Amino acid sequence: MADVSNESQVRDVVERWAKAVRDGDMDGVLANHTDDILMYDVVEPPRVRGLAEYRRQWELFFRYSPLGDGSFDLLDLEVFAGQDVAWCHAMIAIVDLRCRLTLGLRRVDGQWMIAHEHHSFPSEVPAG
């Protein structure tokens, strides 16, 4: 059975992260991530590991993407949390684009930390 308290804590971490992105707050974006964060991204390089590489990806996002209302809103966030491991998924609205998001979190010294992040754009599947 899922732990509602853990789910609420994870949801709070994820929502604060998304708000930090909208606000262009790099410290907030980096907060609550493990030192060995692994991210699969929609831009080159498609795989980054560690906070230094993760930071560089967000610096690119801030440089080239619109910020503010509608720039990084979470849609249909669903959270699943156990005692020490959690995952969640959502769609991210980036102005008129939609991006899929999957996050894996683990509890480190009592704090929920994002350890895995995966962003992808849906591709159209041909009819047939």
Q: What angle do CA 106, 117, 13 make, to 5 degrees?
A: 55
96-101 contacts: CB < 8 A, separation 24 or more?
97/121, 98/122, 99/42, 101/74
CATH class of 4-120: alpha beta
pTM: 0.89
Burial (CB count within 10 angstroms: exposed 0-12, middle 13-18, buried 19+), residue 106: middle
Query: What b-and-e string marks burial along 109-120, b requiring 16 or more CB atoms within 10 Å of the CB?
Result: eeebbbbbbbbe
**pLDDT tens string 22-35:** 999 999 999 999 99
Tens-digit pLDDT profile for residues 77-108: 999 999 999 999 999 998 788 899 999 999 99
